[in-house]
Amino acid sequence: MSERESSWIEVARGLRPLVEEHARSDATPIAHEVVDALRASGLYGALTPKEVHGLELSLVEALDVVEELSYADGSTGWCYMACATTSAFMGAWTTDEFVAEVYAHGVPLIAGQLAPNGTGPKVDGGARVTGRYQFGSGIEHSDLVGLGYVVTDGDAAPEYRMGTIPRDAVTITGNWDVMGLRATASYDYTVDDVLVSDDASYAYAAPGSIAPVHRRGGAVYDLGVLILTCVGHAGWAMGITRRALDELRTLAPTKQRMGAASVLAESDRFLHDYARLEQRARASSGRVRDTFERAQDAADRGAADAALSAEVRSVNAFVTEEAAEIVRACYLMAGTTGLRSGPLERAFRDIHAGTQHAMVNPQHHVEWARTLMAASAPEAPTSS
């Protein structure tokens, strides 16, 4: 990592006191002060092409930024990665006309659900979309709203597109009474016969590719929606895991469980279990970093394919599943301290909310395993 690259990690780390000051366990949305500071820092452009005022960081560096912000607060990290990813997509894959207007003065905040929950007929210049959406993480502060939809055009094959519309074109319906990630305010929203222009949208993938055709930015945008989405989700899980482990380590020298002969830090059983949790966290983190380094290399060589996409999705699910088990263990080892409002309690709530996301679907493991089964197997040893 270059000195310039590492500086963006320091920028994210410098925001930690502000983020922690406003971190909440209740359903109060992320504070405007935090969003304004993130805007001013430029970090929303982590994965956005440089041609449209983004930073276009490497995948691992973007991962580190998300991890750092999520360490400070899970809801802040979640909304950040959701908006930063969507803004990157629109900056890389939409038309010059769209970015000339929307990115003229910097990277906009675009929040919303890109799953194809809307449909609409093709019309001149776009499609008229109607749909019901969920999980609009960050929509409370967004400039624009993203949405996925299927375009119909007579007998032609339906086309899955991802687009963006003005925030005042959607109706926000709420429905965010949840266990974790409460401050993300990931509200449901609806659209009713709204024009989504071709300029403000892109096809999910070009024919025969895992990615849309990128109009700006480097080869990394050839990795496509799913791989780039996993950067944020994996970094988020890593940040939550590290925070839970650090909270437990800080607690251990003074915490004495009822009936115990000593504080946690003097218990061999605790030290043994804590060491194993650290090993698991560091092993899964290393696996994530290795995978994204190889993904970056594959993009640079023009070698990204469906097998790589399947592996990245499996790795993302794996690191989140490991995070849930590690954080739960930290919560149990902390005793009643874990019940109290604070970073460990939020980590426990947030990671279990995060495991419900579609990017943590167990099917991702099945799909990667199928690519492994289809690969050339080593020759069986011959009998003597």
DSSP states along 289-323:
HHHHHHHHHHHHTT---HHHHHHHHHHHHHHHHHH
Q: How far is CA 315 from CA 219, 227, 234, 285, 302, in A?
A: 21, 10, 8, 10, 21
Instruction: Report pTM.
Output: 0.95
Please state which CATH number belongs to domain 3-102. 1.10.540.10
Any idea where the domains of the chain sit in the sequence?
A: 3-102, 110-203, 219-374
For residue 357, list its beta bridge partners.
none
pLDDT tens figures, 18-61: 999 999 888 899 999 999 999 999 999 999 999 999 999 999 99
Q: How many residues does the chain have?
A: 384
Phi-psi region of 134 (alpha: psi -120 to 50; beta: other; left: phi over 0): beta
Q: Which amino acid is at 38?
A: L
Q: What local confidence, expressed as pLDDT, does residue 149 receive?
A: 98
CB burial readout 16-35, b (16+ within 10 A) else e: eebbeebbbbeeebbbeebb
Q: pLDDT tens-digit profile of 304-356? A: 999 999 999 999 999 999 999 999 999 999 999 999 999 999 999 999 999 99
The residue assigned the tokens 């990592």 is 1
Q: What is the CATH number of domain 110-203?
A: 2.40.110.10
Domains 3-102 and 219-374 share a fold: no
Distance CA 24, CA 21 (A): 9
Class for domain 219-374, per CATH?
mainly alpha
Task: Identify the three-state secondary structure at position 13.
Answer: helix
